[in-house]
Amino acid sequence: MKPIEFDTELQGEAFLSIPKEIAARLPKRGHARVVVYVDDDNSGDEQWRKATYERFMKEDSPEDSVYDDSL
The 10s digit of each residue's pLDDT in 17-34 is 899 999 999 999 999 998
Element (H, E) at 49: helix 45-57
- What is the pLDDT of the chain when averaged over all its residues? 82
Comparing 49 with 22, the larger pLDDT belongs to 22
Whether 10 contacts 38, CB under 8 Å: yes
SS3 64: helix
Per-residue pLDDT at 70 exceeds 70: no
Q: What is the pLDDT of residue 24?
A: 94
Q: What is the pLDDT of residue 30?
A: 93
